[in-house]
Amino acid sequence: MDGYRADTIALNLLVDRLTSCTESMDKALNALEDAGPKSLGTKGLDDACDDFHDEWQYGLKIIREDIAKVVDALRQNVVNYDGIEEQISGRLRLSA
């Protein structure tokens, strides 16, 4: 191992995966909304689906907000790590 180095490629991949997760959750919730909930069967089932949708809509909103904060922080870390790497490389080139 040649010392500490941040893997900015992996950090960017994590950002992509987190973004993809929120998009997938939104698609699933929208699919449930498109399917009804008023057309799935009995009133009890329709009411349960309606309640489920409302609770998950709120929960996904909170998750989406938290993931957005994590994604923003990761992106800033990538910028910071890349900047530090460039500064160190530049100083090493000057001292050589």
- Assess contact for 37 and 53: CB atoms under 8 A: yes
Which pTM does this prediction carry? 0.70
Tokens at 70, concatenated: 């994590």
Domain boundaries, given as residue ranges, for the chain? 8-95
Cβ atoms within 10 A of the Cβ of 9, count?
9
Instruction: Decide: helix, strand or coil at residue 4.
Output: coil
In whole angstroms, give the CA distance from residue 32 to residue 4: 46
In the chain, the N- to C-terminal Cα span, in Å, equals 22
Mean pLDDT value of segment 67-77: 95
pLDDT tens sequence across 11-30: 999 999 999 998 888 888 88
